[in-house]
Structure formats: structure tokens, C-alpha cells
Structure 1
């Protein structure tokens, strides 16, 4: 089978194809013939050497996939050849990479996704929805009538957060850099859109939320945006940081934190995936949303496996609205 590897850190051009042996699944594993990959910013960061995981080289890559069960290992009785499945993202993408034509995955990370989902949608679902669910529902306890600010709102996690906010009756405020994606965000379900390059973020958030303020912020950017975000937050509000896209230093907004008793919390999806009870709760919430149509993955663009380098270039362009997928 073919699998993607990189032998040095760098841009998309360092990705190469290797021919490797497709091993049969071990005990407790499910062997999956991959049909579609879901791409995530984390993969570009690890390839470039700026991710929280620093793998030894050469390394594989990838967190999401959907496909058909080809075989099962000893002790696996809840899957059979021919089942359409997708996978819960692994903790380590270097140890359990998905960029390959065939992968073996522990059965506990394999999901029979709803039949209403295409393979493209199934490959695009779990990373974004578990990430957004864990932050907004599991940690922040987002509730009806809350204002929630979502930065990098046109990303897959940002759009998932917009949908989840609407599911529970909260008011999603999408934050994006420029107004080019404003109408698309409004059409997707954002109640308000703020373009940081064109508007005063603090002033607009205060105008939108009035005396109530913003109780929950979901941020993947960091940097100078912290100060206007916290200035617009309500007493006892919580800011959840799940990324660090800004190349600039992130100031600590001391007086806003003290005066409003704010919580600033770092978060990784791994918290949910590592905890069986929390993961089951996440899956139940997401399954219900998918079945009801409240959650539906937005596909930005599909590439072929042969064009994985071009897919990574598009991933880094920030032009996408939703999830990039790769057909294997």
C-alpha cells in the first residue's frame, strides 16, 4: 500500500509517498481500507515542526479517515468486513497516522457513522465536533441565551462551534479576519460576524452583547486578540484556548481577569478522547446532532490522494470555508 511520510520538516513539498506492507490487524484492531481523509491544521503544524508533538523522522501523518472494514483482529466482534466506518482521532498522529491506503485502528476508536453521512462527511466529522463539544459543552457548559465568541470561525472547528451553539440555543458570534467570509458565516448560522481587520473587536462585541457580555470565548489564535476579547467578557466568563495561530506574543490581561474573575483555560481534544466516559458523552451528543441534521460537516474542497501536497498548500492558504478532504 501507499502511505505518506515526511523525512524532514518543512513545507508541503516534504510530503512523499512510500510503498509499505499492509499488515493484518492485531488483536483488538480493525483493518480499514481508507476511502477519504480529513485534513487538520495540526498536520501542517507537525509537518513544519511547530506542533505540540515532535516525532522522530521519518514520520507518518494524519488524524482522520473514513473507509470500509476489510478485516478484524482477534477479539473484535462488533465490526465485520464491509462495514462503513470512520475513526476517532488518535492521541499521536505519528504513532497512529491515517495518511495511507490501509490502516489498522484499535476497535474502541472505530465508529459506524450514521448512514446519512457520505464518506467525505464522515472523514470530516470527529475532530471538529469532539473539539468543539469538549470546549463548549463539556468544559464551558454552554447554555441557552449565552453569548459565545468563536475566533477563526470559518475553520472546521469554528463552524462546528457555530452549529453546536445553535443546537443549545446560545448566540454564536463569529470572528474572522476580513469581511470576505461574512455572508457565508451568516448563512451558516452565525448570529453576528466581526471582521478584526476592519472593525474594533472590543467595541463591536460590547455593542452586540450589551450589559450581558460574552460568557464563553473559544479561541485558536492567541496573541494581541486576548485583550479585546477579555475586555468584552462577562463576570465569571471563561476563555478556552485550543490553538496558537498568532505569531505574536499573547499578553496576559491581568486586570480584566482579576476584575471579572475570568477563567482562561488551555484545552486539547485529547482530554475527551483519553476519558472513556467523556468520549461516550461526546459521541452521543454528536450522533444526535448528526441524525437530527443540526450538525453537518461543511466540505470546503476535495483533493485526490495523489495531490496531497496541493491539499496541504490549500490548507495553509486560509482560503477554505470548512473542511478539506482527500479521496484515497
Structure 2
């Protein structure tokens, strides 16, 4: 393959809403030592993308000309010196453990360190793969590796209609746990039940603590898996059983998180990037996802697919509307 000197990519030069995203030609060279170049066939959107674009992520973009995007699937076109795990033609996906202001995968082609690339599960197409890695590694890392989820555990999953939320429901079911989904209003209740939630709590109208106590026969939930944080985190702590575990992996509410007064409890501030930095955990996560996709216990929920990089801003608008359930993707 002769590598093009340029590729189309999505950049932004100022902080703001979806309107700041631009499709531009950017230079791209051959992969250097330890690097992999792959053609992107599908991109998975994550809430982190919108936070980064708006300047509210846990690290800032470098402006002007920041890249964007953690999650993509495609096919290897070239490898650099010293790369032994990949060859041209390999179906792969990005293993999101990089600064996406530099290596963002919203592009036709990307060059990533080999440590940031994993083989796609056998038989998984690009859309499924682009929807799987970050959502399922977050659910697996937070619930299995961090919280030690066990059969019979009740698991409260906030933001349950998101990509990670729906992945967490499936992960809980795969381990014999009992997923309790939360959503703001009743509109998504039936869909979440169809996706496997044993119970759904509408937090705008239901008393979360009272409902969790009712569902669990008064003892409380063993695990909380929270994407929101903020003052509402205290109620989740109050819903825990004695010695329960809360895993906070997101901060959709940017206000300081408050702890409940229901002690003893264990609280983890979970960072998925830390999990993916470790080769042993990355290998376990890849094996877990691959086996789950193969046996059908894991199946990404696709909310909507947009065609072409020029639809990225529309995809971001849908993500920020919170009207969707599951994963939003862009295909190329």
C-alpha cells in the first residue's frame, strides 16, 4: 500500500457544541517503530468525546487543531518496525488508552501505538467492534475487576440507557447478578426491561433508596455502578447494603460528589484508562469481550448509525439529547 500524505479527520479549534467540529485534510505518514496504521470503517461515540469537545473532560484538549475520539474499528494497512502482533489485512479496533487530542480516531485512517490496538473478536464486523471495546471494558473493569461482582449480587446501574449502561446490564446478567437500571423518567422503562434489566427506577419520580430497599428485601444493593456523580451520589451510597461497593466511573453531574452516610462501604473512583494500561488486564478484557460476543451473552445495543464523517456533528447532537438507548456510531 502507498500511504496517502493526507487523510480526512474531524478536528476542533475552539471549545463548544457540536458546531465546532470540522472535517479537514490532515497529514498522515507511514507508521513509525511500534506503530500500526489502520483504515477506519466505523467509529463509536462516547460521552467522553462530548465532554472533551466542550472542555469539561478530566484533561483538556490542545487547541487549535485537537483530534477527537477513542473508539474505532477497521483493517490494518501497514505496520512499523518492531510490530509483531499485527500484519496488513488484520481486522482490528482501537483500545482506548491514549490522549485522543493527539491520536483521536475520528478519521479515515489513523496511526496508533501497537499497545493501543487489539484484534477484533473473531466474526465481529466493524460496527459491532466499534461499539464494543470501550463500553464492555468499562463494564467489565468496573464490575468484575474492581467491584468483584458475584452471582446473586444486586447491581444498581445509573445512566442505564447509555452504551456503557446497556453493556453493564449484559455484564451483570452474564455473571448471574441482578441489574437494577435507573433512568430519569418512565419513557425508557420498557426498553430497559426488554434489554434485561430486572427492575427499572425512574429517579425523577421514584424514591431511589426506598425502591432499592424494596427490591432487595430491605438489605440494600451490593454494588452501585454510577456514571453521574454529583450530590446524587450520596443517595446511591445510602442504597448500598452494609459493606457494599460503589464504583463511580463518570461525572455527568460536574458538581462535587457526596458520600452517603450508610457505612461501612467501599467507594472506587474508576478510570478505565488505568485498566487498559496493564497488558494482563487488557488481555483479560479482550478475552472476555470476545467470548461474550461469540456466545451471544454480550451484544452491543446500537441506537443509531450515521454515514460519513460529515455526520459526526449530528451524531453528537443525538448523544447530547439523551433521547437514545445504546451506542451511537459513524460509519465510513
The match for 1:109 is: 116
The match for 2:104 is: 97
The match for 1:290 is: 293
- TM (norm. structure 1) is 0.95
Select the residue among 307, 317, 328 that pairs with 1:324: 328
1-structure distance, mates of 2:47, 2:266: 26
Q: 1:248: how far off?
A: 4.6
1:263 lines up with 2:270 in the alignment? no
1-structure distance, mates of 2:234, 2:104: 37
In terms of mean alpha carbon deviation, does 11-20 or 71-80 score higher?
Answer: 71-80
In terms of mean alpha carbon deviation, does 116-125 or 74-83 score higher?
Answer: 74-83
Q: 1:249: how far off?
A: 4.6
User: Do the aligned partners of 1:222 and 1:246 also contact (CA within 8 Å) in 2?
Assistant: yes
Q: Say what the alpha-carbon RMSD is for the aligned residues.
A: 1.3
Select the residue among 302, 306, 323 that pairs with 1:303: 306
2-structure distance, mates of 1:212, 1:321: 30
Partner SS state of residue 132, structure 1: helix
The match for 1:236 is: 243
2-structure distance, mates of 1:97, 1:156: 19
User: Do the aligned partners of 1:90 and 1:96 also contact (CA within 8 Å) in 2?
Assistant: no
Select the residue among 148, 152, 163 that pairs with 1:156: 163
User: Do the aligned partners of 2:98 and 2:116 also contact (CA within 8 Å) in 1?
Assistant: no
Q: 1:290: how far off?
A: 1.4
1:181 lines up with 2:181 in the alignment? no
2-structure distance, mates of 1:44, 1:228: 27
The match for 1:314 is: 318
Q: Deviations over 1:256-302 (max 9, x none)?
A: 2xxx3111221110121111122222222222111111111111101
**How is 1:30-109 mapped onto 2 (pairs within 5 angstroms)?**
30-58=36-64, 59-109=66-116
2-structure distance, mates of 1:114, 1:274: 20
The match for 1:276 is: 279
Q: Deviations over 1:192-212 (max 9, x none)?
A: 100011211111111001133
- Structure 1 residues not aligned, in runs of 5+: none
Q: 1:112: how far off?
A: 2.0
User: Do the aligned partners of 2:10 and 2:68 also contact (CA within 8 Å) in 1?
Assistant: yes
2-structure distance, mates of 1:18, 1:100: 9
1-structure distance, mates of 2:168, 2:323: 19
- Structure 2 residues not aligned, in runs of 5+: 1-6
Q: Deviations over 1:48-100 (max 9, x none)?
A: 01000112202111101111111111122332222221111133111211011
Q: Deviations over 1:220-275 (max 9, x none)?
A: 1122322322222111011111111125553332x32xxx3111221110121111
The match for 2:4 is: none
1:4 lines up with 2:40 in the alignment? no
Partner SS state of residue 20, structure 1: strand
4+ aligned runs moved over 6 Å, structure 1 = none
Q: How many residues align?
A: 324
The match for 2:3 is: none
- TM (norm. structure 2) is 0.94
